[in-house]
Amino acid sequence: MEASKVIHAIYNDDDILMSAVKRVKAERYHIEEIYTPFPVHGLDRAMGLAPTRIAITAFIYGLIGLTVATVMMNFIMIEDWPQNIGGKPSFSYLENMPAFVPIMFELTVFFSAHLMVITFYLRSRMWPFKSAENPDPRTTDDHFLMEIAVNGNEEALSSMLKDTGAVEINLVDKAH
């Protein structure tokens, strides 16, 4: 296992963290990760993260749900077991489609929602029974932690982080 050094800069206010992130990025340091107790609006943009493509996957999952609903209802209600329910003949799928719209909507939402949750967990690498990777338990309560890679510039980086308002700065060996 190769170990590398990182600096953990701890902040106690989200506004101070945002200005610190902007300064760190302006100084061309690489921020490995930021741990926050709640979502901070604009943090992803300030870190320079690419926009998420999760909406595209939601649309694709919805289309899969719509397809499953259409194929399922056509097979069940038209081909396999046609029934005359309430005087509505089941000669073709298109004749009965208005009655099927609620089922189509519900399965579209069902597939989109459930597959999005599974995608989120897989993309975030949050497997069942996986231990937490949080480097400091205070980040679940009221502190913010910025993790920055150190490449022989520890003194300059620590000094700059102190100027940004960090309440605590720690040098840590991080295993890959």
Question: Which tens digit of pLDDT belongs to each residue from 144-170?
Answer: 999 998 888 888 899 999 999 999 999
Handedness of CA 48, 35, 25, 19 (dihedral sign): positive
Cβ 8 vs Cβ 135: under 8 Å: yes
87: left (phi over 0), alpha (psi -120 to 50) or beta: left
Q: Is the pTM of this model over 0.75?
A: no
Which tokens in the block code for residue 38? 């709640």
CA distances from 122 to 53, 65, 81, 130 (A): 14, 20, 39, 12
Domain residue limits, the chain? 3-37+141-175, 61-123
- Indicate the fold that domain 3-37+141-175 takes in CATH: Alpha-Beta Plaits (3.30.70)
pLDDT of residue 1: 41
Interaxial angle between packed helices 154-163 and 14-26, expressed in degrees from 0 to 180 and rounded to the nearest 10: 140
